[in-house]
């Protein structure tokens, strides 16, 4: 392909990526946005493969085949409940790709066309390369730790040692100094030292962050992966990679800020590795009295309700109860009962998790409301049904200054006349590792069973 045709194709791909982000901002347009993103990526890959500088297609086609097969298998098998750790895994691959490309450019600059007349790597390329490899290394190691925490391979509790934040600061300063030295003189030892330190600080930044803040971490790492890709795009002189990386980096940063605001977390402290976080451990089962009920009790309450608000959470995702839930909601509507859904920004451990599941069950978009919309109505709600949404409904966020989630905006279901809380048993705690005060409220009835089975039984009773 000619240079002009390549530039045009990359421009089309970039526009499709922008339209994809626009589409993904709305549940109704999400499918179309996803298709635009796929089309843009296909054009970008096809254009890159047709680059006249490529002398052998064997390795490229083999890599595309292997990656495509692995991606297809993962996409078909992955459960929605495992999406957060899958995203963390994907971020780690983006970060490592940036590290490998930067290392290749450093070891073979002639192949990348980044040398000046004297045969040395251009200063601008050295800066781009250094930033790309550092951000990529932080993204890789940080994403591996996030994956391990989300998958349960590591504890979700913050892990800190005395002076850790000062160590992080010291490593950050050393990396900045080494990058400045590398920009002046491309000494190989500087390159490999700051690369190794970047891998280390990625681990040290994420380890202190507790489970309650992991959704923000995933979004933050998403942003990092974008900036790493953009940095390598400059090294490669690839406009599509620069634009795509900038889109991912900026949108990830905005999303991280929105999530921090939704969880009453300091954006700066999370970026700096949970600065000021306090280690917590999961509380054991309390002896407080609680009220248990049956599907028959729940059906009676629902039949006599005028308004019902359903709050789905991680428990619904695990049980795959969204379809049965939607059927029960339709039965209630047919009896003249007002039914709506309340969604917390981080319900299910990632933004939009519950929206996707409800859309999968064909729940009307107009019935789904965000936290700010639905909270004022709970005091006028007859029955609130909570399906495994633990931390995001915990009144401790409002009442207990010592709680690790204190200050986090929650769905105020405790204000409803009756709360039906569905969970498997009283033993489990939320991802923040703390008990939920709502379980022991006088207006709460615990329905202890698998969410799908309980909703099926309630449906039969109705």
Active site residues: 391
Render 360-406 in DSSP notation, one character per residue.
HTT--GGGEEEHHHHGGGGGG-SEEEEES--GGG-THHHH-TTSTTT
Tokens read off for 245? 């990386």
Contact assessment for residue 261 and residue 270, using Cβ atoms and an 8 Å cutoff = no
- C-alpha Rg value of the chain to the nearest Å: 25
From residue 143, give the alpha-carbon distance in Å to each of 68, 94, 153, 218, 432: 22, 10, 13, 8, 19
* Stretch (H or E) spanning 302: helix 295-303
Closest of 367, 306, 364, 363 to residue 337, by C-alpha? 306
Strand, coil or helix: 115: strand
Strand, coil or helix: 207: coil
Within 78-212, residue ranges assigned H as helices are: 83-107, 109-112, 123-150, 164-184, 188-206
Tokens read off for 396? 């401790």
Contact assessment for residue 291 and residue 446, using Cβ atoms and an 8 Å cutoff = yes
Local structure of residue 263 (DSSP, 8 states) = T
């Amino acid at each position: 392909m000619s240079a002009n045709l390549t530039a045009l194709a990359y421009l089309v791909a970039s526009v499709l990526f922008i339209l994809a982000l626009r589409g993904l901002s709305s549940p109704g347009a999400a499918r179309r946005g996803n298709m635009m993103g796929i089309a843009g990526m296909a054009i970008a890959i096809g254009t890159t493969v047709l680059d006249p500088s490529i002398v052998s297609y064997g390795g490229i086609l083999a890599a595309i085949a292997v990656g495509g097969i692995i991606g297809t298998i993962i996409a078909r098998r992955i459960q929605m409940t495992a999406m957060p750790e899958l995203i963390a895994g994907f971020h780690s691959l983006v970060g490592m790709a940036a590290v490998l490309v930067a290392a290749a450019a450093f070891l073979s600059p002639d192949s990348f066309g980044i040398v000046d007349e004297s045969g040395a790597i251009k200063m601008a390329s050295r800066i781009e390369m250094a930033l790309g490899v550092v951000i990529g290394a932080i993204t890789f190691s940080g994403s591996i730790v996030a994956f391990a925490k989300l998958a349960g391979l590591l504890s979700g509790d913050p892990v800190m040692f005395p002076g850790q934040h000062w160590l992080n600061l010291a490593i950050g300063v050393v990396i900045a100094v080494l990058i400045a030295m590398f920009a002046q003189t491309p000494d190989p030892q500087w390159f490999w030292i700051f690369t190794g330190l970047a891998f280390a600080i990625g681990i040290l930044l994420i380890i202190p962050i507790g489970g309650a803040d992991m959704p923000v971490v995933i979004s933050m790492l998403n942003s990092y992966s974008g900036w790493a890709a953009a940095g390598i795009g400059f090294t490669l002189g690839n406009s599509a990679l620069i634009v795509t990386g900038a889109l991912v980096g900026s949108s990830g940063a905005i999303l991280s800020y929105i999530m921090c605001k939704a969880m009453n977390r300091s954006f700066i402290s999370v970026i700096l590795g949970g600065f000021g976080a306090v280690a917590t451990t999961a509380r054991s089962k309390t002896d407080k009295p609680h009220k248990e009920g049956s599907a028959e009790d729940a059906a009676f309450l629902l039949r006599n309700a005028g308004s019902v608000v359903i709050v789905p959470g991680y428990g619904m995702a695990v049980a795959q109860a969204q379809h049965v839930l939607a059927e029960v909601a339709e039965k209630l509507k047919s009896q003249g009962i007002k039914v709506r859904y309340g969604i917390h920004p981080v319900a299910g451990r990632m933004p939009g998790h519950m929206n996707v599941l409800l859309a999968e069950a064909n729940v009307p978009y107009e019935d789904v409301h965000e936290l700010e919309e639905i909270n004022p109505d709970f005091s006028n709600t007859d029955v609130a049904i909570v399906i495994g949404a633990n931390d995001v409904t915990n009144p401790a966020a409002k009442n207990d200054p010592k709680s690790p989630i204190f200050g986090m905006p929650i769905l105020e279901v405790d204000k409803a006349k009756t709360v039906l809380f569905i969970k498997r048993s009283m033993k489990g705690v939320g991802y923040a590792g703390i008990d939920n005060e709502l379980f022991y409220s006088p207006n709460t009835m615990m329905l202890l069973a698998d969410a799908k089975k309980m909703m099926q039984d309630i449906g039969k009773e109705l």
